[in-house]
Every structure is written in structure tokens, then in C-alpha cells.
């Protein structure tokens, strides 16, 4: 089901948006029967609290939804969407003194709430109501965000049986074809011929051959290169994960899914950029030809890497792709990956941690994350930890011992393959552990909307 707004020309019923501290004033302006009804039903205007308003003769005159307190709103993204999803069938419009950002959040939350992953079951119970776009808001932009998020969620939610490297390639090519983008794919042994040895090393043990996917779109403006980790399933390799550690590994291509969603937004909105997207797509499996602990790999950049854990494979495939990205001039290079558990321990599943040495990029992203309803948090490229990723026998160690600062050392590892100072890395989770407003349990994009919103300031568009 594609997200959409109600026909702006259709008749619609009002949904009055009322904050807790404004409830008394609002009630004073309502008819006696409305005040009596809301008093009888205990309405307190809590965030997302919904009440239908009766009309004479037994119909529905409208609805009222609470926007809670400022503290409640700060603690919950898309707080209105939980209540809005309870509206009965029909066309509705928001009514109240909503600030532009609040109107965007309500509208975007509504669109995101219409998502359900139904590939393997019947149609889900989704809202039957239709919401009109709030007046003065950019509907095309909000729809582009919601449609891209649906793509990202679908890709992450699809199990590896139906979303291996070949299927991820098919989705990548379909996305490119939809916007007239140019593509190129390098598969299997040709990865060695074209000097992508670490992508090949990680994926060669699978029956589904590894590959590097590339897309180019746009003929004007700054150059933006997106690189997404596409590990379609991660057993851990010979350093095999326990069974519980594999349960969510279908989401290990969440970085690829998220950069594809961001690319879709950029192309759908026809932003004046020259876009390049790189996705190394592999399955980290176990076979006689799997890479081994203590193997030394020679990367595309020429740096040697000691494999001290075959389960730290994502940074290996990203390193070759980032080296390729860095060979071409770019105004911005971004990598996105479900890279480390350490990032989740540090900031939990709801925040997207990012790294950059460019203060301007960091400030622009932080400023954009609030309006985009897409929280991010900056972590440091901490120079004193550089020594931890130098094993002595090779230039780099893919999995430093000790267990400290795992997300930072992974980010430092990736930075070794990018000389462009305008580089950003995201260590995302890509999964919502339990149902949340506008975010059902399962795959989720992180950081993409914040980046989209920040691009004009980042690139001077």
C-alpha cells in the first residue's frame, strides 16, 4: 500500500489538536454537549489521546486529539500518529494552532503509520481514514520521505531466503530504472579482476556470489556518493555467531536499504546533485573457501588487513567500496551500515550515531535531525584509539581485542580508506525492537531524512 493523503477537494471532518495546558481554554469555546461528553469520557488531552465528537442524530461531528505536554512531545516522536490511526473511515483534516514542524511531524507520522509488511500474509489492518495534507506544507516532500521509508523497511524486513545478494541487486536495479539512473554490477570472480579483494573474500563462501552495485544519477550540482553495507545475511563466518545472534541478521543489509531509500528521496525530489550509490552485496557464510581468522587481506587501497574476527566483515566490504568512492572527486561521501553492537550499547536503538571530522557537516546534520523527526548523535573519530586498529603484522586490524570503543574503532578503520575530508559514517541499527508510533516492530530507516534535510546547507543548494 503506497502512502497517500486524502483528496484536498473532498469534504472532511476536523480533528482538533489540543495541548494539555490549552485544554481548559479550548473546552470553554465548545458547546455544552461537547464539554459534557469529554468530561464523561475522561479526556485530558494526553499525547495521542483521541475522542470522537458526536453529532446531533447519532453521527460523528469530528474528533479531538491531545498533543500532551511539551515534555511528553519531547519524549515521543510521532506521538499524534497513534491516536490518528484510530480514526474511523472517512476524510479528516487537522485543526488547531500547529507550528510548521509540528504539522509536518503529524502528516509524516500519519503516512508512516500506513505501512505494513504484508509479503507473507494477508492485508494488515491499516487505518481506513484518510488525512488531508495540512495547509501550507510540502506534500511532495513528505510523500517522498514516506515512500522511501517504505522501500527501506520492505528491504530490511524481507528474510535472507528472498533477499540475498541477487535479490538486493534486483531491487537496486529496479530503483535505478525507475528514475533513469545508470547502473553497473561486478559479480563473483570479476571482483578480483577489478580489484575488490575484500568484498570477494567476505562473500566467496556463499553459494550466492558477492557483487558490487553502482548507480549514477543527475547531471548538475555537487557530487554526493552514498555507500551502504549490503550483508544480506551474516552467520559470523568461521567465527560463527550463536543462534540467538543470527536471529536479526537479515537486517545486516540495513545500510544498503537506507542509502537506497535516501537515493530514492533525492531522485524523486529531483535535487540538483550528481548522485552516486555504491552497495557491496554479500552473504557472510561458511564453507571450505571461507576467510579464516588471522588471514591477511590486501585491500583495494593497498592497505593490508589482518582478519582477527570473521564476524567483523562489514567494515571489510565497505573499505573496498569506500576506496572506490574516494578515487573520484566528491563534495560529500556518506557510508551507512549496521556495523557494531557497540553503537547500540552506547546510544540504544532509536538514535543513529554518526562520525565526521567536518564541523560544518555535523552542525548541519544535528540542526536538520529535529525537523526531519530523525534523531542522530555525533560520536568522535577519537585519534588516541588509532593504535588499537594497528596489529603490527599488517596495516590494520579488523577487530581489535579488548572490547572497548567498538563503534569508534570501526569508524576509524573505515576512515583509513577515505582521504576526502567531507566524509560521514553512520553506525545504524536499522530495526525497531517493539511497536512505536509510526514505527512498527521491524526494519526502519535511520539518518536518511536528517541527511536529506541537511543537504541544502551541507552543499549550498
Active site residue 241: yes
Among 132, 315, 344, 439, the one annotated catalytic: 315
Among 73, 190, 194, 241, the one annotated catalytic: 241
Where are the strands (E) in 182-273, listed by range? 182-187, 211-217, 223-228, 230-234
Three-state SS at 328: coil
Distance of alpha carbon 116 from alpha carbon 132, whole angstroms? 21
The answer to whether 165 and 232 have CB atoms below 8 angstroms apart is yes
Distances (CA, A) of 106 to 99, 413, 444: 11, 40, 18
Distance of alpha carbon 20 from alpha carbon 45, whole angstroms? 5
The strands making up 304-306's β-sheet, listed across from edge to edge, are 296-298, 304-306, 396-397
Distance of alpha carbon 431 from alpha carbon 279, whole angstroms? 19
Active site residue 416: no
The answer to whether 213 and 182 have CB atoms below 8 angstroms apart is no
The answer to whether 408 and 382 have CB atoms below 8 angstroms apart is yes
Distance of alpha carbon 93 from alpha carbon 97, whole angstroms? 13
The answer to whether 381 and 413 have CB atoms below 8 angstroms apart is no
φ, ψ (nearest 5 deg) of residue 136: 85, 0
All 3 cell numbers of residue 318? Answer: 565497505
Residues with catalytic function: 241, 315
Amino acid at each position: 500500500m503506497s502512502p497517500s493523503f486524502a483528496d484536498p477537494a473532498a469534504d472532511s471532518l476536523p480533528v482538533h489538536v489540543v495541548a494539555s495546558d490549552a485544554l481548559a481554554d479550548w473546552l470553554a469555546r465548545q458547546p455544552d454537549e461537547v464539554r459534557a461528553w469529554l468530561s464523561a469520557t475522561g479526556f485530558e488531552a494526553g499525547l495521542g489521546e483521541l475522542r470522537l465528537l458526536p453529532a446531533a442524530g447519532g453521527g460523528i461531528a469530528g474528533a479531538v486529539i491531545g498533543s500532551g505536554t511539551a515534555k511528553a512531545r519531547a519524549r515521543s516522536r510521532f506521538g499524534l500518529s497513534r491516536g490518528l490511526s484510530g480514526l474511523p473511515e472517512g476524510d479528516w483534516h487537522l485543526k488547531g494552532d500547529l507550528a510548521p514542524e509540528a504539522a509536518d511531524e503529524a502528516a509524516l507520522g500519519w503516512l508512516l503509520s500506513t505501512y505494513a509488511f504484508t509479503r507473507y500474509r494477508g492485508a494488515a489492518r491499516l487505518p481506513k481514514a484518510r488525512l488531508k495534507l495540512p495547509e501550507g506544507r510540502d506534500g511532495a516532500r513528505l510523500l517522498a520521505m514516506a515512500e522511501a521509508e517504505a522501500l527501506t523497511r520492505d528491504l530490511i524486513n524481507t528474510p535472507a531466503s528472498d533477499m540475498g545478494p541477487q535479490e538486493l541487486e534486483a531491487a537496486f536495479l529496479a530503483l535505478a530504472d525507475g528514475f533513469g539512473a545508470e547502473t553497473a554490477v561486478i559479480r563473483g570472480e570479476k571482483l578480483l579482476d577489478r580489484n575488490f579483494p575484500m568484498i570477494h573474500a567476505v562473500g566467496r563462501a556463499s553459494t550466492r556470489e558477492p557483487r558490487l552495485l553502482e548507480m549514477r544519477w543527475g547531471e548538475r550540482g555537487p557530487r554526493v556518493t552514498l555507500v551502504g553495507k549490503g550483508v544480506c545475511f551474516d552467520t559470523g563466518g568461521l567465527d560463527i555467531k550463536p543462534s540467538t545472534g543470527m536471529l536479526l541478521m537479515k537486517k545486516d543489509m540495513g545500510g544498503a536499504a537506507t542509502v537506497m531509500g535516501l537515493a530514492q528521496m533525492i531522485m524523486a525530489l529531483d535535487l540538483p546533485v550528481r548522485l552516486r550509490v555504491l552497495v557491496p552485496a554479500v552473504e557472510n557464510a561458511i564453507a571450505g573457501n571461507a576467510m579464516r581468522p588471522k588471514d591477511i587481506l590486501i585491500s583495494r587501497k593497498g592497505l593490508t588487513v589482518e582478519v582477527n574476527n570473521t564476524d567483523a566483515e562489514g567494515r571489510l566490504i565497505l573499505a573496498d567500496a569506500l576506496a572506490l568512492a574516494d578515487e573520484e572527486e566528491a563534495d560529500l561521501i556518506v557510508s551507512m551500515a549496521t556495523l557494531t553492537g557497540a553503537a547500540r550499547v552506547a546510544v540504544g536503538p532509536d538514535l543513529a550515531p554518526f562520525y565526521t571530522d567536518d564541523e560544518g557537516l555535523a552542525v548541519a546534520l544535528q540542526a536538520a535531525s529535529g525537523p526531519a523527526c530523525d534523531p542522530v548523535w555525533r560520536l568522535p573519530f577519537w585519534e588516541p584509539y588509532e593504535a588499537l586498529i594497528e596489529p603490527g603484522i599488517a596495516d590494520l586490524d579488523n577487530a581489535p581485542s579488548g572490547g572497548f570503543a567498538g563503534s569508534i574503532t570501526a569508524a576509524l578503520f573505515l576512515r583509513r580508506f577515505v582521504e576526502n575530508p567531507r566524509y560521514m559514517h553512520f553506525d545504524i541499527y536499522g530495526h525497531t525492537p517493539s511497536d512505536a508510533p509510526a514505527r512498527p516492530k521491524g526494519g526502519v530507516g535511520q539518518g536518511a531524512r536528517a541527511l536529506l534535510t541537511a543537504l541544502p546547507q551541507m552543499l549550498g543548494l
